[in-house]
Structure formats: structure tokens, C-alpha cells
């Protein structure tokens, strides 16, 4: 198999499974892990996949797959634009309907989670949840869980947003704390 064929095969595999280990790929394709690393390089550079501990994860999850998913916390059907995904060891991903449920689950899994991704509220791009800025207490109703938590890639965007719709901007750590404290109050 030529490197280009292998790369296409890797793309198919990862599109299907979302997360894979390097060792798995090396076994399936019958080449060394070093060769797999070389094959993955352009896919990582293109932003198609992200490297995780001992493996790779698809960056942009196909919409047709996601449409059948339900939130791990409240069991609502997943809307790709609001989804919050927690990447766990052993190729596991847990999906929440929005950052509200996502942060609750992320808090529960904080010792295990490798990474979490969500969708920028303005641009709909996939972002690293830990680096995002979050807006709470805004007047805009996104139609998911309360209290609402809206993720933004850039703090400036979040700040511009609250000028129009009101609310407060928080960092990941702050919003995690606030969101989970609210949960306790309700319980
Ligand atoms: Zn939910
Ligand atoms: Zn929700």
C-alpha cells in the first residue's frame, strides 16, 4: 500500500470510529508505529485529526453520526452546534447537549478526561473547551439547559456578545466552578 492509500484508509477508519490508538492502526495497516506517525503528520497539520495520549481523535465529527446521539446528562438529542464532547482514554467520547451539561459531566470526569471540545457560539468552529471563554446569565435564549453556558473561542467575542445580549464572561475554571455550584444548590 502506498502512503497516500494508507492515509486515505486512516481517514476512513477515523471517520468511522472518531478515536483510535496508534498501535491499532499499525496492526490494521500492517506497518510499524513509526510509519503510522509519519502518515499521521499531514493529517494533523491539516487539522483533520488531533493527537491524544497514545492515539488520534477526529477533529470534526460528521453530523450524520451525531444526530443519533443523546446527552449523557439530560438525554436530550444532540444538536451539533451546541454539543460538548469529552474525550476519554480508550477511544471513548461522551457527548453532552450543551456546555451546561458538558461542564457537569466534565467535572465528574475531571481526573480521567483527556480533553474536551465544544463549538464556538459565533463561528461554529470546534474549540478546546479548556481554552474557551464562557458567557452566563445572558438574555439570549439558546433553547437548551438552564442556567445557560455559551462557549466562545475568543474572550473579545464573548465581551462583544454581552454588550448586546447581557451576561458575564468567565474562564473555563470559573465557569466550571459556577456551573457545578449551581447544580448543588438545585439538588
Ligand atoms: Zn444535556
Ligand atoms: Zn443542554
Is the confidence at residue 119, as pLDDT, over 60?
A: yes
DSSP secondary structure letters along the chain:
--HHHHHHHHHHHHHHHSEEEHHHHHHHHTS-HHHHHHHHHHHHHTTSEEEETTEEEESS--HHHHTT-B-TTT-PBP-TTT-EEEEETTTEEEEESSHHHHHHHHHHTTTT--EEEEE-TTT--EEEGGG-EEEES-S---SSSSS-EEEESSHHHHHHHHHHH--EEE-HHHHHHHHHHHHHHH-
55 Cα to the center of ligand 2, angstroms: 29
Q: What is the pLDDT of residue 183?
A: 63
d(CA 168, CA 166): 7
Phi, psi of 21 (to 5 degrees): -95, 150
168 Cα to the center of ligand 2, angstroms: 19
Percentage of the chain exceeding pLDDT 90: 70
Confidence of residue 3 (pLDDT cuts 50, 70, 90): confident
For residues 144-151, average pLDDT = 96
Across 8-12, 18-22, 77-81, 129-133, the highest mean pLDDT is recorded for 129-133
pLDDT digits (tens, 9 = 90+) for 72-82: 999 999 998 99
Q: What is the pLDDT of residue 182?
A: 65
72 Cα to the center of ligand 2, angstroms: 10
Query: Which chain residues have CB less than 5 Å from ligand 1, an ion?
Result: 71, 73-74, 76, 97, 101
96 Cα to the center of ligand 2, angstroms: 7
Site of grid cell 464573548:
158
6 Cα to the center of ligand 1, angstroms: 38
Spell out the residues 6+ positions from residue 68 whose beta carbon is closer than 8 angstroms to its own: none
**Range with lowest mean pLDDT among 6-15, 22-31, 131-140, 141-150:** 6-15
Q: What is the pLDDT of residue 34?
A: 94
For residues 153-173, average pLDDT = 97
Spell out the residues 6+ positions from residue 96 whose beta carbon is closer than 8 angstroms to its own: 71, 72, 73, 83, 84, 85, 86, 102, 104, 105
Q: Which residues pair with 95 in a beta bridge?
A: 85
The answer to whether the predicted template modeling score (pTM) of the entire model surpasses 0.85 is no
Confidence of residue 66 (pLDDT cuts 50, 70, 90): very low
- Average pLDDT over all residues of the chain: 90
Amino acid at each position: 500500500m502506498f502512503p497516500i492509500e494508507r492515509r486515505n484508509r486512516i481517514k476512513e477508519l477515523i471517520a468511522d470510529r472518531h478515536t483510535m490508538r496508534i498501535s491499532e492502526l499499525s496492526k490494521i495497516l500492517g506497518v510499524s508505529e513509526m510509519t503510522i506517525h509519519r502518515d499521521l503528520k499531514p493529517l494533523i497539520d491539516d487539522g483533520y485529526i488531533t493527537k491524544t495520549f497514545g492515539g488520534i481523535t477526529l477533529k470534526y465529527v460528521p453530523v450524520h453520526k451525531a444526530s443519533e446521539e443523546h446527552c449523557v446528562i439530560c438525554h436530550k438529542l444532540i444538536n451539533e452546534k451546541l454539543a460538548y464532547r469529552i474525550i476519554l482514554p480508550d477511544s471513548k467520547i461522551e457527548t453532552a447537549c450543551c456546555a451546561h451539561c458538558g461542564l457537569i459531566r466534565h467535572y465528574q470526569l475531571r481526573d480521567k478526561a483527556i480533553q474536551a471540545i465544544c463549538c464556538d457560539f459565533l463561528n461554529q468552529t470546534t474549540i478546546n473547551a479548556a481554552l474557551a471563554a464562557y458567557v452566563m446569565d445572558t438574555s439570549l435564549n439558546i433553547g437548551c439547559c438552564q442556567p445557560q453556558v455559551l462557549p466562545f473561542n475568543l474572550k473579545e467575542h464573548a465581551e462583544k456578545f454581552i454588550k448586546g445580549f447581557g451576561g458575564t464572561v468567565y474562564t473555563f475554571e470559573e465557569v466550571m466552578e459556577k456551573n457545578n455550584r449551581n447544580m448543588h444548590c438545585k439538588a
